[in-house]
């Protein structure tokens, strides 16, 4: 069997049609869209068409779309930019304990500039309670930032309801939709959001490109200085092939959304089912409100990273903790926020399924997980300890 | 991130398991700091480590370090074995990523604890 | 004749070999380099090899290289990051009046944070005087930022000497080498620099990727927060194909540097010569210390943008002012800094030659320039005015 | 950035040049603000603009706007022509980029100045 890729929450393969759309811009259409000549104008036209297309898919206007170098930059621009723009009105920001570091660390870093940050807890499934958001609102609250769907445990947050609460209180609402776009119907109108970040490589687009949506009339200070690109909001020559590829990938993702969701949910449930049939395994995240491809399971007495490596030897790519922090030794802040023990958190492994996975791969994976878990447990000082008790 | 040597030891760890009637046992680590390693040694009359076994709860580096350590120690005198440093373990593995260096520490410390246990029993 | 591209300072076509090197990373090697599994490790290896290669070419160590989304981000990171990291030691920054906006605007924005900025003048050729730098040094000076070569007029600054002055005074020295890399031998040791920014798409690499060099031991605060990529200095999933393509493009640029320089200088001089033979035309920038491909000429009584459009009709791509600000109506800040009249500044057009230009193209261009200048002058209210006088 | 119409007028401007013995002349703009446009008109006894010429120092938009204006004006009565706004000029060109809108202003203003000159001479 070929190698099996089940780490689509870390990144996805680039869709062939997206690459095809990029090729002319990697070859003959190399102009700088800021240039006034034909080479430049041709590229400008393609960029603006992509902006219109993506705006339309998100339920937004083209003028509300700013291209960035990825999800992290979009999150930083939204949070820091909005906070600084509104600091005359207030200095209180609300976020949650399960955010990606691109949001959580950015909010916390703002404390050094005098902002006050409330980090809301989550329940055992990683869910934020909209009532907690309402209770946390203060007169000086200027921004709420909540992720649409969690990258580690896949829990889908009640962003619509939080959006309503934000709207009622006249507070800006930012969502990190990096994991949601391509997996859920994301629309800025139905979700009541003012700011939204996405990243192309999470929905089969290219790496190094993303987008920030900023609702018309929302003031956001720019973070970097330079040329006047993106109406002065995001200086620097644009990643043109990236932008074009992102547009095509998004178009495909939206057109196949229902079909892909159904397929992936059924694969996901088969994998979850099989894992939970093993001894002392526990599903992390929400039992039903979860991303269609997310499987996050803790196996007691072993370490997720060891399981990951063992599966890698069997040709299966998974993740323990989020990709970005897999180099660090701390258990996932997301799992810890759901209230589990460090030992259980360290036993977590995440499979994030994608378009390309098959039933055969799921069944092979289940077999491999069983073998690996057994082997690692037989080596574990904790498992032994348990036998002795 | 891991060297081929680390991966090889992780995948085929040497001397894993328990030992009946060990001459010394050491356990180091706790769940909070990360990994837990247990080491069992069998020492002959001349003070030579004749056999060694380990069990580890931990990441790939922790398991590979434990395995490497047991290979380095077998047949050596306890006085010599006790001097083995985490750095030697990591070097023999072809290096470890910086954030994983403390894992080789764990194995060396568990061995030291086992040797101390053995020496205490001799008294 | 095919369309003629003479706007290589705005952006360059992607080198075929660089694209070839990128292709596997746009296809099967799609892993996230932060992932621990094989898909991730393969990509990590390629990224680190590129880092080593680029470090070697720059005379740096791999640990001193941070990949970014382009030149603008690298300039911002260097200037804001170093200034904030050193604000305990002082708050004075020195830069020049001919910097790209990515440097100049960034320095000026720091004034809002309490930094004091000295903007040095230049002579009629756009050159900074190293003595002016020395004279501007204060006890509280923490950073000097000077571009290696100017994007508009092509003037090459005396960065080595400024670097020595900075080193002697123990002040950090940043150079914006965006226009230099690929055109000049850029080496961080011979140039005495602590920080250096470059951008791949200026040397036939892909758009949306660049690099910041930070000398070992130099403290630079990070600007964005998120995952631990680039040792925490630059969060966000990396533009992998971009990084790989940049490495290949840089390798090619360095290996062909002398040969390309010689060819381009001879084409450049032919074009300058031909332009100056026309009536009331004046070369902008330095007569000898200029980028091998840069031709910047002012034609009196006409507007650069009109000339640009007229040439575009004849299939020739050039620029008036820098690409980034060609939408704005102000005459170039660089040309104004050299002390010329607004009218002369507005009559400037820039041809930036590249590897692919030929003698035939130069001669065709000269013909086209002559026709266009004549036509526009015949329509000009100023030229008429002159005749009447 | 420019519409096809702008580009076409820029490339083939109508009514460029000087005029012998114009009935009115207007000049608007200065180098500091950007562009300079001169307009010359010939007006018949009924107050109809029979001929018009312009010269412009300026960008593509300034030249195209001048050209478009002369087309819009020819054959119209001065009382009507004086009411032509910059917005109408820009609209007839299929729009102008925001930062270039003031260019259509220049052409319309130069015409107004020429009509005023013509009217002053009539007095
Ligand atoms: C929820 C979430 N937010 C933000 C990011 C950052 O996106 P990127 O790495 O493309 O900058 C990620 C991806 O790692 C993510 O999963
Ligand atoms: C001198 C100089 N610095 C910085 C930049 C910014 O580079 P980028 O547009 O790739 O961010 C440019 C290019 O426009 C430049 O010419």
Predicted confidence (pLDDT) per residue in A114-138, tens digit: 999 999 999 999 999 999 999 999 9
Predicted confidence at residue D34, as pLDDT, reads: 72
- Contact (CB<8Å) D36/C381: yes
What rounded mean pLDDT belongs to chain C? 95
> Is residue A236 in contact with ligand 2, taking CB distance under 6 Å?
yes
Q: Which two three-digit tokens encode residue C148?
A: 């290696």
What is the separation of C-alpha C146 from the centre of its chain, rounded to a whole number of angstroms?
11
The predicted pLDDT at position C34 comes to 92
Q: Is C76 in the pocket of ligand 2 (CB under 6 A)?
A: no
Contact by Cβ (8 Å): D73, D49 = yes
Q: Which residues of B touch C36 (CB under 8 A)?
A: 1
Q: Report which of A35, D122, A347 is spatially closest to residue C11, judged by C-alpha positions.
A: A35
Q: Name residue A65's beta-bridge partners.
A: A213
Confidence (pLDDT) at D105: 84
* Token pair for C339: 């002390």
**DSSP character string of D83-102:** T--HHHHHHHTT---GGGHH
Length of chain D: 123
B75 CA: distance to closest CA in chain C (Å): 35
Radius of gyration (Cα) for chain D, nearest Å?
13
Tell me the pLDDT of chain D averaged across its residues.
Answer: 91
At C54, is the secondary structure helix, strand, or coil? helix
Say if CB A8 and CB A292 are below 8 A apart: no
Domain that holds residue D24: 4-122
Integer Cα distance of C117 and C111 in angstroms: 7
Residue C1 — pLDDT band, cuts 50, 70, 90?
Answer: low
D33 catalytic per annotation:
yes
Look at residue D106 in the predicted model and tell me its pLDDT: 87
Tell whether the model's pLDDT for residue C328 goes beyond 70. no
Q: How does pLDDT run across C336-376, given as a tens digit for each residue?
A: 999 999 889 999 999 999 999 999 999 999 999 999 999 99
Could you say which residues of chain B have pLDDT below 70?
30-33
> Which stretch of DSSP H or E encloses residue A197?
strand A195-199
In angstroms, the separation between the Cα of residue B45 and the nearest Cα of chain C is 45
Handedness of CA C340, C116, C212, A100 (dihedral sign): negative
Distance from CA of C43 to the nearest CA of B (A): 11
Task: Per residue of chain A (389 residues), give pLDDT as tens.
Answer: 689 999 999 999 999 999 999 999 999 999 999 998 999 999 999 999 999 999 999 999 999 999 999 999 999 999 999 999 999 999 999 999 999 999 999 999 999 999 999 999 999 999 999 999 999 999 999 999 999 999 999 999 999 999 999 999 999 999 999 999 999 999 999 999 999 999 999 999 999 999 999 999 999 999 999 998 999 999 999 999 999 999 999 999 999 999 999 999 999 999 999 999 999 999 999 999 999 999 999 999 999 999 999 999 999 999 996 544 444 567 899 999 999 998 899 999 999 999 999 999 999 999 999 999 999 999 999 886 554 43
Q: Which residues of chain D have pLDDT under 50?
A: none
Report the nearest atom of ligand 1 relative to the CA of A10: 14
pLDDT value for B48: 97
Task: Kindly give the distance from the C-alpha atom of residue C101 to the centroid of ligand 1, in angstroms, as a whole number.
Answer: 29
Phi, psi (rounded to 5 degrees) for B70: -60, -35
Do the two chains D and B touch, given a threshold of 8 Å on CB pairs and at least 3 pairs?
Answer: no
CB contact under 8 A, C327 and D97: yes
The pLDDT score that the predictor gives to residue A119 is 98
DSSP 8-class letter at A7: B
Beta-bridge partner residues of C174: C145, C195
Q: What is the CATH number of the domain that holds B62?
A: 3.90.1010.10
Q: Which residues contact D18 (CB under 8 A, 6 or more apart)?
A: C384, D40, D53, D55
Residue owning tokens 């940050």: A117
Residue C326: predicted pLDDT:
45
C-alpha A285/C-alpha A297 separation (Å) is 9
Atom of ligand 1 nearest to the CA of A74: 11
Is residue C102 lining ligand 2, measured as CB closer than 6 Å? yes
Radius of gyration of chain A measured on its C-alpha atoms = 22
Give C108's contacts (C-beta < 8 A, 6+ positions apart): A225, C117, C119
Q: Give pLDDT tens digits for C266-284.
A: 999 999 999 999 999 999 9
- Tell me, in angstroms, the distance from the centre of ligand 2 to residue A236's CA: 7
Q: Of D71, A257, A99, A235, which is closest to residue C70 (Cα–Cα)? A: A235
Distance between terminal CA atoms of chain A? 41
Nearest to A247 by CA among A99, A56, A378, A380: A56
- In this prediction, residue C325 carries a pLDDT of 44
pLDDT of residue A389: 39
Residues of C annotated as catalytic (active site), given as ranges = 324
pLDDT band for position C323 (cuts 50, 70, 90): very low
Q: Any idea which ligand is nearest the CA of C33?
A: 1
Q: Which residues have C-beta atoms less than 6 Å from ligand 1?
A: A 70-72, 75, 100, 102, 147, 151, 176, 178-179, 199, 201, 210, 324; C 236-237
Q: Does position C327 have pLDDT exceeding 50, yes or no?
A: no
Contact A353, A8 (CB under 8 A): yes
* Cα torsion through A334, A338, A341, A345, rounded to 10: -40
Q: Which chains touch B (3 or more CB pairs under 8 A)?
A: A, C
Give the up-direction half-sphere exposure of residue D40: CA atoms within 13 A in the CB hemisphere: 13
Closest ligand to C-alpha of residue A11 is: 1
Number of domains in chain B: 1
The answer to whether the CB of A98 falls within 8 A of the CB of A126 is yes
φ, ψ of residue C293 in degrees (nearest 5): -105, 0
The pLDDT, as a whole number, for residue D98 is: 81
Domains and CATH numbers, chain C: 4-11+257-381 (3.90.1150.10), 16-255 (3.40.640.10)
Q: Touching check for C231 and chain B: CB below 8 Å?
A: no
Q: pLDDT per residue over C146-205, tens digit each?
A: 999 999 999 999 999 999 999 999 999 999 999 999 999 999 999 999 999 999 999 999
Each residue's pLDDT tens digit, C188-247: 999 999 999 999 999 999 999 999 999 999 999 999 999 989 999 999 999 999 999 999
Cα gap A269→C211, rounded to integer Å = 43
Q: Pick from A1, A7, A11: which is nearest to A210 by CA? A: A11
Q: Is any ligand 2 atom within 6 A of the Cβ of residue C7?
A: no
């Amino acid at each position: 069997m070929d190698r099996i890729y089940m780490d689509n929450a870390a990144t996805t393969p680039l869709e062939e049609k997206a690459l095809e759309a990029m090729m002319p811009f990697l070859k003959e259409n190399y102009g700088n869209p800021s240039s006034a000549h034909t080479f430049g104008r041709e590229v400008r036209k393609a960029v603006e068409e992509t902006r219109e297309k993506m705006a339309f898919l998100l339920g937004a206007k083209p003028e509300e779309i700013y291209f960035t170098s990825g999800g992290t930059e979009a999150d930083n621009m939204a949070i820091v930019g909005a906070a600084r723009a509104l600091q005359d009105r207030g200095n209180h920001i609300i976020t949650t304990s399960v955010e990606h570091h691109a949001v959580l660390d950015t909010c916390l870093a703002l404390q050094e500039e005098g902002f006050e940050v409330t980090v809301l807890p989550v329940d055992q499934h990683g869910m934020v309670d909209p009532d907690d958001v309402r209770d946390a609102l203060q007169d000086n609250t200027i921004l709420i930032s909540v992720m649409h769907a969690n990258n580690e445990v896949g829990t889908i947050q009640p962003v619509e309801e939080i959006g309503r609460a934000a709207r009622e209180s006249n507070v800006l609402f930012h969502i990190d939709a990096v994991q949601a776009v391509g997996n859920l119907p994301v629309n800025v109108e139905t979700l009541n959001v003012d700011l939204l970040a996405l990243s192309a490589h999470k929905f089969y687009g290219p790496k190094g490109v993303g987008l920030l949506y900023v609702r018309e009339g929302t003031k956001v200070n720019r973070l970097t200085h330079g040329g006047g690109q993106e109406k002065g909001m995001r200086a620097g020559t644009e990643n043109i092939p990236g932008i074009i590829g992102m547009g095509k990938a998004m178009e495909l993702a939206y057109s196949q959304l229902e079909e892909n969701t159904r397929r992936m949910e059924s694969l996901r449930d088969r994998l979850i089912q099989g894992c939970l049939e093993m001894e002392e395994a526990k599903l992390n995240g929400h039992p039903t409100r979860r991303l269609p491809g997310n499987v996050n399971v803790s196996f007691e007495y072993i370490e997720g990273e060891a399981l990951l490596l063992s599966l890698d030897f069997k040709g299966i790519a998974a993740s323990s903790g989020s990709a970005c922090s897999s180099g660090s030794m701390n258990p996932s802040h997301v799992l810890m926020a759901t209230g589990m023990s460090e030992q259980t958190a360290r036993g977590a492994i995440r499979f994030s399924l994608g378009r390309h996975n098959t039933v055969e791969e799921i069944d092979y994976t289940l077999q491999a997980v069983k073998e690996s878990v057994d082997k690692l447990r037989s080596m574990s000082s904790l498992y032994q300890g348990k036998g002795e008790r | 991130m891991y060297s081929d040597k680390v991966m090889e030891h992780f995948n085929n760890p040497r001397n894993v398991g328990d030992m009946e009637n060990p001459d010394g046992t050491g356990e180091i680590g706790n769940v909070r700091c990360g990994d837990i390693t247990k080491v069992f040694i069998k020492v002959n009359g001349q003070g030579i480590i004749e056999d060694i076994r380990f069990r580890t709860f931990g990441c790939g580096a922790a398991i590979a370090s434990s395995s490497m350590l047991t290979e380095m120690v077998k047949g050596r005198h306890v006085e010599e074995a006790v001097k083995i440093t985490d750095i030697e373990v990591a070097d023999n593995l072809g290096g470890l990523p910086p954030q994983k260096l403390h894992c080789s520490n764990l194995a060396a410390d568990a061995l030291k604890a086992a040797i101390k246990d053995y020496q205490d029993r001799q008294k």
